Amino acid sequence: MTLADPHRAHTALVRALDERGLLPPPWREIWERTPRHRFIPGRIWKQGAKRCEPVTTDADWWRLVASDQPVVTQVDDGQEGGPGIATSSNSMPSMVARMLELLEVQDGVSVLEIGTATGHVAALLSARLGDRHVTSIEIDPTLAAVAEKNLAALGFAPTLVVADGEQGYPAGGPWDRLIATCALRHVPYALVEQVAAGGIIVAPLIREFLSGALVQLTVHSDGTARGRFRGSASYMPMRSHRAAGRPPVDTSTPRSRWATLDPSTVLTLPFALYAGARLPGVSLIQGEADGAVRVWLQDGKGSAAVADAEAVTEFGQRDLWSEVERIHHDFAELGDVVVSDFGLTVSPHGQHLWLGAPAEVISPDHEPVRR
């Protein structure tokens, strides 16, 4: 791929998305005239195993930009000399297309986007709805300025706001649609309040227990938002939703035993959603040791566990891996459960996951009923 054929590269990307059924009318035409590469800076990175790796050649730049892969456009909040952690990106095109489909936009609806980044999603929405119906918030003023320039170069002028997206933009509401292009640890109720009854929220959620999941919520006249999970989604967290540091683990009482549950069996999104609701505050991180799956659990109160296919070591007051084993048994009792069986309710009083129907809340002491 060379700098001489950007049109061919973009056309091939759009064709690939369309062949996967991700661009129903009128989205294909909109993607065709809103090229991705016009929103990608010259300096980009790709995600490596431990840190982001700079893309240093024109050929590699085009190969990444023309692929269905995320492109990291900022590391370390724009500060030089950091550890190379991704802090902004142009998302995987297929995920963007999926989220826009779930947003169910129609002519005349207003949309608030949380996380402008370099402006690509705002451009797609502006091309579909018109500038006056699109508002986008970005916390980073440098990124917001880049987005404004990119959008103007293609003739778009949506409302751009520099602010913390966690609070939304009440001055412009109520909104008919809200889309977050950064991951939320929870759905701030301030966002629900700013969406009109009947409106839709689409957002990726980053869960402590392993998973990143996409949720589609409908706002109701009683002030609640309810909806189902629609698949996996891996996004960088909103700045105010980044993980806080955890206290040290109590390593004074290690307890080791042979494993009875292969940790690879817990690394599915349905189980992660279920176990995360059963074990609030417990984090699970996936890794590997000697080429085999290993997981780390921590409750933030001193207890932890490390498990692989052969052995388990637990620390602190709780036997965390034993709790996971019991919950995995309960999960198996539910029968065949898929991601879309799970849902989320957000209200002024908090938010909770449910299974099957909103009344079937998953609590820490949830009793499984075979579906």
User: What angle is formed at CA 267 by the lines to CA 73 and CA 314, rounded to 5 degrees?
Assistant: 110
Among 81, 77, 189, CA closest to 139: 77
Residue 173 and residue 135: Cα distance in Å, rounded?
10
Q: Is 67 a catalytic residue?
A: no
Catalytic residue among 67, 88, 89, 91: 91
Residues 98, 36: Cα–Cα separation, whole Å: 16
Structure tokens at 163: 């602010």
What is residue 27's three-state secondary structure?
A: helix
Q: Which residues of 224-235 are buried (b: 16+ CB within 10 A; e: fewer)?
A: bbbbbbbbebbb
One DSSP character per residue, 181-242 reads: SSBBSS--HHHHHTEEEEEEEEEEEE-SBS-EEEEEEEE-TTS-EEEEEEEE---PBPGGGS
Instruction: Please list the active-site residues.
Output: 91
